[in-house]
Chain A
């Protein structure tokens, strides 16, 4: 097995997949959005409680592969309590890292826990798995759509 593969499925990712954080729904959500990847059937709902310009709370539920589920889980921990403008910047950074457009080594501090997804860049077909929760979050916050987002833009 390639070491790239082991790095993709490192223990942290498998842990988050087995017991995802912030899993479930949110009764007093201010934002709710479904995100799906129609090609592979991954499907999540993200619930947000936004106060002012801060994401106070977040939950997600749904089905998908280990990469998408752990990405949603890590993302939910990462964005809780952060400002929307900050989250937007991290979204841009995260996309560039998983697409292999930036070298993660240079952004380790900034990335924090998100760095575990750097290995995705070795597998272009899995990029959409990692970014699906982020796309959904982004659209939910900016309410571009009230319905669904998909990875097929």
Chain B
């Protein structure tokens, strides 16, 4: 059996993003593969072995989504007379009672401003707020909770880096490497920065199957590259990018890496020390937490050298009329009264995820996704965009020539919530030469029965729109 919490061998990075420190393997022969030297796992066929092994294990896990569904009051309703089938989790996830009650109880019992009041409520609020920071730090295995900066979400986290770090360290003629599969929020902030300082953006293209082209990456890395900013999981293709491989290539040249973890952190075990990323951005609302709260993790040396992001209360140490000195990190980057209830409830979401276990969640979602892909491929008229071997539960597709808006409207009539549109990734749509896709995205509370229902309704839609 693999040792459960041994970061050296039991925990490994598969060259893909997964780290499996917590899980004990059911199959001895697979566990041998898992204990291999993590650096060797980048070799492609080994990666493939691991991916296959994960799929095997996924089949054998005993995960009951119905056990968790009852914790989510929103899922209990009818839409147009049909039970709600919520398949828009890449946009935002639903919230369990544990999170909802945390918000309610905070406002009922503890509400106060943080870090300022010397009264009982202020103390409780501050304690709970800082406790949440620690939970989040532990969740991604950050060395210190000082490295967790609360923001409004992934978008603000990336903007924070672009402004507080980028404006100081990136200058004219420098290059930033992004990919062609970025969400607008990991694209537009860099466009703004590039324009401001005169830097250039370079892009790693994706192939037909929705995976990054490493030959091009190798070629565009240069001595002018100052940053590689990349999504760890695509919100369009579901592709899980080989982060370990990317950080290693960048590190060889001393280039920092920023990860947009909006889609990966909610679904995959995340260990920032194994991934060796310098910045990681993610959002609470995509992982059971409330909207308006997110996180920027960064390595300490970056945080210490960054400029403040916004000015105001909380982020200062001493203020004179003409100048100020800055508070310590992380507070230096958290000007003004933060989203206190949001942060505490995000902490409750983390507790909930930990109780289930992130490895369990990953494995179950792998199984569910494989099931969905198989079932959906039964339909001849379906085109699925992206078929990366390492992928999460995000499936973008088109059905015959039914426009995604018409299809999603039809599905809504059946109680199914999916997304239609460009998914904040217009450059991807342009490259695929499509206006939009329909996207079904899963979380651990989704079931195979829901997927069967989706497939039935897709077949009905074909009859309805093109009889």
Contact = CB atoms under 8 A, between A and B. Distances in A.
Interface stretch (A38-46, A86-94, A135-143): A38-46
Contacts of A48: none
Interface stretch (A1-9, A20-28, A101-109): A1-9
Interface stretch (A50-58, A60-68, A76-84, A110-118): A60-68
Given A40-B405, A129-B405, A1 B465 contact: no
B202 interface: no
Contact of B422 (A18, A41, A69): A41
A27 B249 CA distance: 53
Interface stretch (B138-146, B285-293, B310-318, B406-414): B406-414
Contacts of A39: 421
Interface string B386-417: 00000000000000001111100110011000
Contacts of B435: 41-43, 63-64
A42 B434 CA distance: 11
Contacts of B404: 65
What is the interface of chain A mostly: helix, strand, loop, or mixed?
Answer: mixed
B181 interface: no
B403 A65 contact: yes
Which bracket fits the contact residues of A? 20 to 34
Nearest to A36: B435
A66 B413 contact: no
A36 to B, nearest CB: 10
Given A1-B413, A64-B435, A66-B403, A40 B80 contact: no
A1 B461 CA distance: 11
A65 B405 CA distance: 6
B38 to A, nearest CB: 42
Interface string B417-433: 00011100010010000
Contacts of B406: 9, 65-67
A68 to B, nearest CB: 8
Interface string B338-353: 0000000000000000
* Most interface-central of B406, B414, B466 (chain A CB within 10 A): B406
Given A14-B465, A41-B429, A66-B403, 18 more contacts: A1-B80, A1-B413, A5-B409, A5-B413, A9-B406, A9-B464, A18-B466, A40-B420, A41-B422, A41-B426, A42-B435, A63-B403, A64-B435, A65-B403, A65-B406, A67-B405, A67-B406, A126-B409
Interface of A: 1-2, 5, 9, 14, 18, 39-43, 63-67, 69, 123, 126, 129
27 contacts: A1-B413, A1-B414, A5-B409, A5-B410, A5-B413, A9-B406, A9-B410, A9-B464, A9-B465, A40-B405, A40-B421, A41-B421, A41-B422, A41-B429, A41-B435, A42-B405, A42-B435, A63-B403, A63-B435, A64-B435, A65-B403, A65-B405, A66-B402, A66-B403, A67-B406, A126-B409, A129-B405
List of 6 A-B pairs having minimum Cβ-Cβ separation, nearest first? A65-B405, A65-B403, A41-B435, A63-B435, A66-B406, A41-B436
